[in-house]
Amino acid sequence: MVLFLSGCTGLRLMPRDEVLYTGSSIEIISKEKIQRKAKIKADVNDIIKPKPNTKFLGMRPGLWLYYLADRPRKHHNNKRKTRDWIKNKLGEAPVYLNEMDTVIMQKAIEAKLYNTGFLDARATYITVRKKKGKTAEIHYQLHLNQPYTIKEITFPPDTDGIGRWIARSEKKSLIKKGNVYSLDDLVNERARIDELVKRHGYYFFNRNFLEFLMDTVDHQVTLHVRLKSTTPEKSKVLYRTEEINVYPDYMVTSDSLPLEHLIIDSINYYKKTKYIRPRTVLRSVYFRPGHIYDSRIQRRTLGRLNNLGVFKYINLEIKEIDTSAFGKLAVNILLAPLPKNSLTTELQAATKSNNFIGPGLTFSLRNRNAFRGAELLIFNLQGSFESQYNGVYKGQFTYQVNPRIEIDIPRIIPFKFQPKTDFIPHTKFGLDYSFLSRVGYFDMNSFKFDIGYRWKQSMTIEHALTLLNVTYYNIYHRSETFNSLIDSNPLLKSRFDEQFLFGIGYSFFYTEQQKTAKRNRFYFNGNVELSGNVLALGSKLATKRPIDANNPSKVFGVEFAQFARFDIDVRDYIRISNNNLIALRFIAGWGLPYGNSNTLPYAKQFFSGGAYSLRGFPANSVGPGGYTPPAGAQNIFALQQGGEIKLEFNAEYRFPIFKFLKGAVFYDAGNTWLNKANINAPNGEFRSNLFLKQIAMSTGAGLRVDLSFFVLRFDVGLPLRSPAVPESERWVINHTKFNSLTFNLAFGYPF
């Protein structure tokens, strides 16, 4: 294997008269102490082009495949097409030294340094040959003095018109005294002023009409912001929106159809069909006749109309009404509807760690405008069949039928709540029924009903409020074989108890994933769920007796669960370079049963282990605490071990191999616990002096086929430490064998 991999460098197949460019090194030379050297080098390295061939563990697999497929051979056309596909899709064209224009790159580096405050910087370079002249790198030397800082910034005088708004925003300037000079700061400041001016009616103003004059003395910069003398007079005129015209079914049918003209809230509404109610559209139109033009109103209108989800084409035209008299605008809103109905079909295949395998089929019908109010009606019908092809349950099978109806209404009902954001709040209803049959064991019905709201506060903040969540499970047609299995294991038996959940919940999301320019992107999700409190109060008032878990109250003859559940998911994505990333995640959860319950419902417990958790252990097999299930129960229907407390940490380094193939190395640690001791799960409770010793650990590596819209992931996990064995033997890495490895095949990244 080592000999084979050593041949994948591609150098053996390279033309003799060529020299492969292998990258650049950067050295900072200065008589003074320069701050943030690593960032300076990273910024310079980002602009050096072209990039060398991708390297992985000393190999260049893309380059090797390119050369291999490019070698001249006699072959059939189909084979030629295959070789071309390997060459162009999997392969990577060589980057030779003669492709590097070092003179231009030297100037580009000096320009980059100038734009980041090193106004007197100088760059030099030397070429370093390696491997008997077959490869070469370019060594750049950056000769730097201390960067220039901002001494002062001045704005136009507080006069009428545009100058007034620019001058009054001086305190909000992005350019601060004492900061290092940066061209990016100037670009962002010009964009800030442009947005400010357009918020106050100056529609034809353009950021290119602003200029910065710069004076430099003793490594300090004085900036003067002013309007260019060539700024057109039209750009200095205040504009109002005098006329708003809305066309809700633009190009939906032949232009020969007559237009029906309605005037609603002083807005002209021209429709051809009854595709959508006018009020639904106009709730998302914030322009009003006679109001001063505001760029925020334009952005909010576009965002709201797009979020309705019923238009495939949205065009907002703004024109002058009378060019002879500046100051009046007409707003034309042209909307082309999407097809109302769509049907999708998905064919699935599943294989599980308990050797069950089988197909699945899903039909999904979507109506994007169910009641002419941009309501999204979704009807899903899912069916699946699984059987064990090898093992103790060979010949047994499972089938499931799961219809679900969802309604998404683009407003908060029944309230007239209209948050002043670019996003539409949604009211969601869901009704779900599932029938599951494990032939020879049991049948199960489950019903779910939920009502809630979801709304985005900004691009980074989102809220979800569940007003009502009702869940009911019912197990019946239990076979004697099944009863004997669960009677021998109380934990397994509790999993199949009838359950009735009636609660509320709230979720908060904060994500910086859209901020792709940030090197450090943060994610936070917090959830709170309460269940059974209303039913407990009603039962107490009706029966005149206190709620007692030892003598639980019932609803429709079924015990209801009463609990509180909290969990957080915190992530940090640290970009080392354009293609290298460190991803970190911390999960903490706690569930507290009380009142009518002495245990957390199985469906609300926390689990650890599997492709999206601790990848060195089978799915949901870790914990609680140091508990080990009996050997005879470990594989019963892929028994999942849950807990009421969870702590988990994951770290992953992600790197490219070539093109869409990426790699990762990872480390996972965590476990679940019970709130208190349980005779059916010895050593499963959380103890402050023991929980660290019960942390499970695993490590491993993986490959990811990342096509942006689709990610197939293959991870191999190695257990390092297991809490399910005596304490002196928990470092299982000391006696690991090949069959200890856990192979995970999954879609998407783990977090």
Identify the band that residue 390 occupies on the pLDDT scale cut at 50, 70 and 90.
low
Does residue 252 carry a pLDDT above 60?
no
At residue 640 the predicted structure's pLDDT band, cuts being 50, 70 and 90, is low
**Stronger pLDDT, 217 or 256, i.e. the higher one:** 217
Q: Which DSSP letter does residue 4 get?
A: H
Sign for the CA dihedral angle at 673, 674, 677, 679 comes to: negative
* 85/63 Cα distance (integer angstroms): 14
Do 617 and 696 touch, CB atoms closer than 8 A? yes
Lowest average pLDDT, out of 122-131, 521-530, 639-648, goes to: 639-648
Q: To which residue do tokens 């990811």 refer?
A: 704
Q: What does the pLDDT look like over 218-247, one tens digit per residue?
A: 899 999 998 888 988 889 899 999 999 999
User: Looking at residue 324, what is its pLDDT?
Assistant: 67
What is the pLDDT at residue 637? 43
Amino acid type, 441: Y
**Contact (Cβ atoms closer than 8 angstroms) between residue 655 and residue 663:** yes
- Residue 213 confidence (pLDDT) above 70: yes
Task: Please tell me the least confidently modeled range out of 38-52, 71-85, 290-304, 649-663.
Answer: 71-85
Q: Are 612 and 746 in contact (CB under 8 A)?
A: yes
Q: What is the mean pLDDT of residues 200-212?
A: 92
Query: Which CATH architecture describes the domain 2-143?
Result: Roll (3.10)
Average pLDDT over residues 296-320: 92
Give CATH for domain 149-236. Answer: 3.10.20.310
pLDDT tens digit sequence for 497-525: 788 899 999 999 999 988 877 889 999 99
Mean pLDDT, the chain, as a whole number? 87
Which run of H or E residues covers position 438? strand 426-438
Asked whether the beta carbons of 350 and 360 are under 8 A apart, the reply is: yes
Q: What is the mean pLDDT of residues 268-296?
A: 93
- State yes or no: pLDDT of 105 exceeds 80: yes
Which of 379, 374, 378 minimizes the C-alpha distance to 306? 374
Separation of CA 416 from chain center: 31
Q: Which pair of structure tokens corresponds to residue 236?
A: 């200095």
Task: Specify the CATH class of 240-337 in words.
Answer: alpha beta
Predicted local confidence at residue 124, as pLDDT: 94
- Domain 2-143 and domain 149-236, same fold? Reply is yes
- For residue range 339-368, what is the model confidence (pLDDT) as tens digits? 999 999 988 777 665 567 788 899 999 999
Query: What pLDDT score was predicted for residue 94?
Result: 87
Asked if 656 contacts 579 with a C-beta cutoff of 8 angstroms, the reply is yes
The residue assigned the tokens 């006699």 is 74
Asked if the bond preceding 232 is cis, omega within 30° of 0, the reply is no
Q: What is the mean pLDDT of residues 464-474?
A: 92
Whether pLDDT at 739 is above 70 = no
With a pLDDT cut of 90, the percent of the chain lying above it is 48
Domain residue ranges in the chain:
2-143, 149-236, 240-337
Give the C-alpha distances (Å, rounded to integers) separating 280 from 32, 259, 262, 268, 619.
Answer: 64, 19, 14, 15, 46
Highest mean pLDDT among 43-52, 282-291, 552-561: 282-291
| Residue 399, H or E segment | strand 397-409
What pTM does this model have?
0.81
Burial of 549 (0-12, 13-18, 19+ CB in 10 A): middle
For the CA atoms of 674, 678, 682, 688, what is the dihedral angle to 10 degrees? Answer: 40
Confidence band of 558 (pLDDT split at 50, 70, 90) = confident
The Cα 743–Cα 619 span in angstroms is: 11
- 25-81 residue pLDDT tens: 999 999 888 888 888 998 898 889 888 888 777 778 778 888 877 776 655 566 677
Q: Which two tokens stand for residue 233?
A: 């007079």
Per-residue pLDDT of 117-153, as tens digits, reads 999 999 999 998 887 778 899 999 999 999 999 999 9
Question: b vs e for 363-387, b when ≥16 Cβ sit within 10 Å of the residue's Cβ?
Answer: eeebebbbeebbbbbbebebebebb
pLDDT, residue 454, reads 94
pLDDT for the residue 391: 58
pLDDT at 638: 42
Model pLDDT, residue 480: 87
- Angle CA 254–256–262, to nearest 5: 100
What does the pLDDT read at residue 597?
Answer: 87
Burial class (CB in 10 A: 0-12, 13-18, 19+), 495: buried
Measured between its terminal Cα atoms, the distance across the chain in Å is: 32
Highest mean pLDDT among 9-18, 254-263, 595-604: 595-604
- The Cα–Cα gap between 553 and 546 comes to 9
Name the packing angle between helices 295-307 and 183-199 (round to 10°): 90
CB 452 within 8 A of CB 465: yes
Q: Higher-confidence residue: 451 or 70?
A: 451
